[in-house]
Amino acid sequence: MGATEPNILLEALIEEAAVSRAGLAAHINRAGRSRGLCLRYEHTAVARWLKGQRPRGQVPDLICEVLGNRLNRPLSLDDIGMATPGAGAALPGSTLTGFVERATALWRSDDQQRPHILASATVTGTTAVMPVWEWENPPEDVDVSRSGTTRVCMADIMTLRAARAHYELMYRRAGGIATRSRIVGFLNTETAPLLRGGYSDAMGRQLHRATGGLVAVAGICAYDSDAHGLAQRYFHQALRLAKASGDRGLGGYVIALLVNQSLFLADYRQSVAFAQAALRAAGRHITPALAADLYAMQAKAYAHIGDATSALECIRRAESEAGRIRPGHEPDETGYVQPGLVDVQVAEALLSLGDLPGAREHAVTAVRTPAHDRGRVHRLAMLTHVELRQGEADRAAATAVEMAERARGMESQRLRDRLRAVREDLIASGCADAGRAAEVIDGALRVPL
């Protein structure tokens, strides 16, 4: 547990044990006296531990003892988030059991709307890359079975799958801001007890796969709410769940979400590296839809760093894979790769490369292809930018009006970003219809977030 990272594991255990911070401090002082220690902890010390500080000496062991006695089960330093590297104890989450406890503690804190959870920062460097490396490389989970009082059955798996489809549809229609609290609440109250339940290895793999799909959507909603550190944590969780499930394709899908986030955060080289990892590790398990999206996002990244040759090669591969997509033969998660998605991705890459005619052709094709409202807003926004770059400001204003009308009622920070960018470019163009288009965009932006 890093010094600046809140200890959500300890927080969850204190709440489960139904003890106050002052009460925990008093119990620790009393337990310390039985070991000949003179401790005078108060609630302020517990508050520091919850913020990530690790007490010295025997105190972490005393915390395990006190909380373990109240919960009637043994607790380790891993369990309370106070393991120390190099001291013979595994880091929290290194085992699947430890991961489950850490993951469910995050869901609980997020469901309770703890401010530090929503405001958590993204990790970079080795910390950001390690979850992808661990997914791609051995060891695999040999046995994910677990003993527990609640036996998980196929009906539970079907419930999780239905929930994922439900919240994904809600996200597309209403946006991530409106959907996030609902899916996190479901994870905390319905999914967490199943992960802690009893199941065979075969059932456990299906459980971890279904949970991974749900957690990925929670990450998408956090991303759409501008909570990028939280989104990244959910994506990393989904990747670990994918590994436990043994489904390489699901892992590739989760990495595609990380690629998309890296693109938004302008970490283009990481986008390329992650996409290559997904394509390499998923291998034959990757579907044409997912491969097409990964190549298209790589093209955008290469275009941003000025590597036109690599960008054009990735565009060629993306279009080739898109031509191989067979509706009904893709997993539920890759349903977002609808007809026209690759076109709008390619349009963005070509726009970055300065190929305005090519960008226009792909943007028009994307807009003419049916899509759900959220996807249509992004496609119309791209076409507006291309039309403005080509000097067709009046046509761009009309496209922007349609875009804003489609976006009305959606609570999505990403869509608001797109609308604001289009509005700014329209006003800068000085065209006659810019004012009217800006008013329509302002109306769509008045949805309270």
Per-residue pLDDT of 32-78, as tens digits, reads 998 888 999 999 999 999 888 989 889 999 999 999 898 888 888 88
Please give the average per-residue pLDDT across 157-168, as a whole number: 97
Instruction: Judge whether residue 193 has pLDDT over 80.
Output: yes
Q: In a 10 Å sphere around its CB, with 0-12 CB exposed, 13-18 middle and 19+ buried, how is residue 246 labelled? A: middle
The percent of residues in the chain predicted with pLDDT above 90, rounded, is: 75
The two tokens of residue 165 are: 């489809």
Beta bridge partners of 198: 151
Question: Which tens digits make up the pLDDT trace of 321-371?
Answer: 999 999 889 999 998 998 999 999 999 999 999 999 999 999 999 999 998
Tokens (6 digits) for 148: 């527990």
Give the pLDDT mean for 173-198: 95
pLDDT tops 70 at residue 2: no
How many CB atoms neighbour CB 47 within 10 A? Answer: 12
Q: Measured in whole angstroms, how far is the alpha carbon of residue 54 from the centre of its chain?
A: 29
The CA-atom distances, in angstroms, between 94 and each of 100, 102, 119, 370 are: 10, 10, 25, 44
User: Taking the mean position of all CA atoms in its chain, how far away is CA 69?
Assistant: 36
**In this structure, are residues 153 and 191 in contact, taking their beta carbons and an 8 Å threshold?**
no
Question: Closest by alpha carbon to 397, among 435, 344, 362, 366?
Answer: 435
Describe the crossing of helices 154-174 and 373-389 by its angle, rounded to 10 degrees. 40
CATH 1.10.260, domain 1-92, yes or no: yes
pLDDT of residue 86: 42
Structure-token match 């119309």, residue found: 380
> Which of the residue ranges 119-123, 292-296, 354-358 would you say has the lowest mean pLDDT?
119-123
- Rounded Cα distance, 120 and 60, in Å: 25
Q: What is the pLDDT of residues 250-288, one digit of tens each?
A: 999 999 999 999 999 999 999 999 999 999 998 888 999
Q: What is the pLDDT of residue 98?
A: 85
Residue 82 pLDDT: 87
Q: Is 408 exposed, middle or buried (0-12, 13-18, 19+ CB in 10 A)?
A: middle
For the chain, the structural domain boundaries read 1-92, 94-246, 372-449
Taking residues 161-181, report their average pLDDT.
Answer: 95
